[in-house]
Amino acid sequence: VSDQVLLTTTVGSFGKPDYLQKARNANARGKLGETELTELERKATEEWIRRQERLDIDILVDGEMYRGDMVAYFAERLDGFRLGGLVRSYGNRYYHKPIIASKVSRPKPMTVDWFRFSQALTDRPVKGMLTGPYTMLDWSYNEAYKTRRDAALALAEVVRQEAEDLQAAGARYIQIDEPAIHARPEEIDIAIEAMGVVTQNLDAKTVSHICYGDFAAIYPKVLELPVDQLDLAMANYGYRWLELFNKDPFTKELAIGIVDVHRHDTESVATAAEGIRKGLRYVSKERLLPHPDCGLKTRSIEESEEKCRVVVEATKVVRKELAQAATPA
């Protein structure tokens, strides 16, 4: 992997197989035990590791077969949180929005066993996947802390513990997602400060995924977020965020979204390849990582695979062009 350019990756989640969805529902109704559910989650995780290898993705994820929601998963495992009643997110979709009810602490690691399990299945690097402190705060109700900064910094401390445990377990990439970072652009200093707490002792490559919102409102300030790589949805936004880089050059590695994830159909390889070429105008091939715009958990397994296939095929097309251009005539 090391000397390859345009390393491919994904944002984190994949569609769950039917047998797992059914098992999760049965578990929620008390009709299936934790041990049985975990076994099926492991089976689904292994299937996704194999699919990613077959698709020839360079940097893998565990697919988050054991998670429903990226904040609730952690809230359920941290002391200080309780899950509130149902709240609508859009249309007919509801979720249990977490409540920070008292001071937050981490009784034990939350994702490390899953990381170990999935990394042991493959020689390719698997990313450790965490939700960032600012997003944890913004997507919860805060009853416990006087200010949002206080809450974000307390959450940063537990995310730091988890990130350092992932690194100790061998994670070479640790992704700390902050999709809510632009919810209140005036608070970006809080998000930056909190991320600084998380990544201060990490040597692993650090990544943060940002999506859905006005990226322009936080650019170029977001370049101060202390991570090595930003992971951005671009296809869904017609690559318009790239234009911001004309005025203020992008200074990090860029994981660039080249297929929209909120459609059943997928862009052609040619269209996706054009997205990579657009990215190459601003970021070198060593620092540009093609991937789908966002997590694929709302897509079926077949749709998830197809989107990844297009990403990898498009990347190979552009790699070939780059190799040809580099060969003296």
Partner 1 sequence: MKTTVTGAYPKISDENQELRRALHRHDRGELDAGGLSGVLDESTRWAIGELNWAGIDVINDGQVRWDDLLAPFAGAWSGCDRGPLERFYDNNTYFRQPVITGPITTEGTTLVRDFEFARGVARGELKAAVCGPLTFATLVAEDHHYKSLEDRTLAVADAIAKEIRGLGAAGATLVDVEEPALVAHPEHFALARAAVERLAAAGVPLALQTYFFPADPLLDALAAFPVAQVGVDVRSRDTHALERLNALRQTIVLGIVDARNTRVETEGELVKLIEAALRQIPADYLWLAPTTGLEYLPHDVAVQKLKALVAAAHAAGGVKA
Sites of contact with partner 1 (CB under 8 A): 84-92, 94, 97, 99, 138-139, 141-143, 180, 183-184, 212-213, 236, 262
With both helix axes pointing from N to C terminus, report the angle between 148-168 and 188-199 in degrees, rounded to the nearest 10.
30
Q: Whose Cβ is closer to partner 1: residue 183's or residue 242's? A: 183
Shortest distance (Å) from residue 294 CB to partner 1: 11
Quote the CA–CA distance of 139 and 206 in Å, as a whole number.
Answer: 22
Our CB check for partner 1 shows the closer of 95 and 245 to be: 95
Residue 329 tokens read as 């005539």
CB 212 to partner 1: min, Å = 5
- Cα gap 56→58, rounded to integer Å: 6
| Min dist. Cβ of residue 93 to partner 1 (A) | 9
Those residues with Cβ within 8 angstroms of residue 57's Cβ, 6 or more apart along the chain or in another chain = 8, 9, 10, 124, 308, 311, 312
Give which of 262, 257, 274, 275 is closest to 303, Cα–Cα. 262
- Both structure tokens of 162: 């988890």
CA–CA dist 16, 299 (Å, integer): 9
Closest to partner 1 by CB, 180 vs 280, is 180
Q: Is the peptide bond before 220 cis (omega within 30 degrees of 0)?
A: yes
- What's the min distance (Å) between Cβ of 319 and partner 1? 31
Nearer to partner 1, 115 or 139 (CB): 139
Nearer to partner 1, 55 or 154 (CB): 154
Nearest approach in angstroms of CB 107 to partner 1 is 23
- 114 vs 241 by CB, closer to partner 1: 241
Tell me the closest approach of the beta carbon of residue 168 to partner 1, in angstroms. Answer: 32
| Cα separation, 207 vs 176, whole angstroms | 6
